[in-house]
């Protein structure tokens, strides 16, 4: 299995753009956490999809929590984007599946078998 990754630019201001390469399902989290995220490229990497529960925890640790207008901490970004508990994990699983690219058998790449 292979996985789709996207090359993005996270624009902090008019002069600062931070390039990142992230799994396709991380882009909505970046968009929730930053004002401007621009997708500039795509890569298919020879990397299998992660386990959904492990990835949900990893994303929660990586992106942390949103901040409310009064300065208090809000939901973790992963829960704000995908949902809480089983619903969030189910939506994340769908996003991971959508970014997973099945490898074609060698015969399909070569045409008819010889």
The predicted pLDDT at position 70 comes to 94
Q: What is the tens place of the pLDDT at every residue in 62-113?
A: 999 988 899 999 999 999 999 999 999 999 999 999 999 987 765 655 665 5
Q: Where do the structural domains in the chain lie, given as residue ranges?
A: 2-101
pTM: 0.85
CA distances for 29 relative to 36, 59, 62, 103, 114, angstroms: 12, 9, 10, 27, 47
Crossing angle of helices 52-63 and 85-98, in 10° steps, is 100
């Amino acid at each position: 299995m292979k996985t789709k990754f996207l090359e993005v630019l996270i624009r902090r201001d008019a002069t600062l753009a931070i390039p990142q390469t992230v799994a396709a399902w991380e882009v909505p989290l970046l968009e929730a956490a930053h004002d401007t995220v621009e997708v500039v490229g795509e890569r298919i990497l020879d990397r299998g999809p992660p386990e959904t529960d492990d990835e949900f925890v990893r994303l929660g640790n990586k992106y942390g929590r949103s901040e409310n207008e009064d300065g208090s901490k809000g939901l973790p970004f992963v829960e704000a984007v995908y949902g809480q508990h089983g619903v969030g994990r189910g939506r994340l699983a769908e996003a991971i599946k959508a970014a997973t690219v099945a490898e074609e058998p060698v015969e399909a790449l070569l045409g008819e078998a010889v």
